[in-house]
Amino acid sequence: MISQPGIGVLGTGAYVPDAVRTNEEVAERAGVPPEWIAERTGVLRRHVAAPGQASSDLAAHAVRAALRDAGLEPGDLDLLILATSTPDELGPSTACRVQAALGAENAVAFDVSAACAGWLFGARVACDWLRAEPRGRHAAVVGVETYSRFLDTGDRATGVLFADGAGAAILGRVPGGHGFGPITLGSDGTRAGDVLIPGGGSRFPACRETLERGLHLIRMDGRAVRKFILEIFPLAAAEALRRSGLTRDDIALVVTHQPNPVLLRQACAEAGFDPARLVIVADRVGNIGAGSLPYALADAHRQGRLSPGDRVLVVAFGAGLTWGSGVLTWSADGSGSR
C-alpha cells in the first residue's frame, strides 16, 4: 500500500529586531536587581522593535527567511496565517499587511488570535486547509509580537519577560509517515482575565481615560498563569503522545511556547521529560508570545538539532486561556536560515 503524503515543515525562519534590552536596563525600571531576573526567570536579554517597526515588518522578515529555507518564492504561497496579540491595527488583518509586503499575491491571508498558543492554532488550520484544498501547495504560518509597545516597564511580572520577535514555518506535503500527527487544541474562556490587554478594543475603546489608567498595557496574574502552565503542560503532552501512539522515549525534542526558561524546565521535568531534550530560546529573546514556539523550532533547525524522522513534541499555551499539542515527525533537510 502506498502511504498518503503528510503535511509537514518545508522550511523555517526567525527574526528579532537589532536593538537589545539587557537585564541591567529592565531591572532598573522594574525595581529589582539584575540577578533576580536571571535567577527567577532565566531571561538574560530581549529584543525591541525600532520606532516605526510594526508586527507585520517583523513577520515579513521571518516568512522571507522560511521561504529561502524551503527554496520557495512568495508567489508559491497559497495560504498565509498570522498569529499575534499585537496586530498592526485592529483591522485589517496583519496577515494582509505581510502578504502585501512579500508580494505573495496568490495567498489567502488572515489572522488567528489565540495569544501565545496562536501559532499552533494556525498550524492546525493550515494542515486541514492543505489536506482539503486540491490546489493548495504551500502555507506560511507565522507568529509575531511587538510587546514592547504594550509594556509597563515598572511591572516586574511583565516588564522583565515580554519582548519582540517572530518565527515562521512553511508547511506543505511531505512523504508519508512524516509531518504533523493529530493536533489537539483547547480553550477556557472563564480565565480570560488572567493575562490580557484590557484597553483598545470595543469594551474599553482607546481614550484619555484608558491611557491614564494604563489599560492599553499588558496585565498578568503571574501566580495564576504559572499554575495554569504547570497544570496544562503534562496533560497536553500526554494527550499528544496518546493520540500519536508514542511514548516519551520516542520524542527527540520538545518544542514549546517560551514563557521563561526556569518555569519551562520545571514544567518539562514534571511532565517526565529530560530537560536536555527541551529547546530553550527565551534566555536570549524573552517571551515573544505567538512567535516563541516557531522561533524555537527555527532555532533547533538552524542549530542542526533536527534530523529527518525525528519526532518533535510541540506544546503551546497562552492567554484566553488557550493550549494545544501534537507530534511533528521532522522531514526538512538543511540547517535552517536566520
Active-site positions? 116, 257, 287
- Nine-digit cell at 185? 487544541
- Exposed (0-12), middle (13-18) or buried (19+): which is 204, by Cβ within 10 Å? middle
Beta bridge partner(s), residue 313? 254, 327
Beta strands in the chain (DSSP E): 6-15, 19-22, 45-48, 79-83, 108-112, 138-146, 164-174, 179-180, 184-187, 195-196, 219-220, 253-256, 311-318, 322-329
Q: Give the C-alpha separation, 169 to 139, whole Å.
A: 8
Residues 6 or more apart whose Cβ sits within 8 Å of residue 73: 67
CA distance 337 to 67: 9
Residue 8 is placed in which grid cell?
509537514
The partner residues of 142 in beta bridges, in order of sequence, read 82, 168
Number of H-type helices and E-type strands within the chain? 10, 14
Q: 174 Cβ partners below 8 Å, 6+ apart? A: 5, 6, 7, 8, 9, 10, 331
From the list 5, 40, 36, 46, the residue with the least C-alpha distance to 282 is: 46
Q: For residue 113, what are the contacts with CB-CB under 8 A and spacing of at least 6?
A: 83, 84, 85
Grid cell at residue 251: 520524542
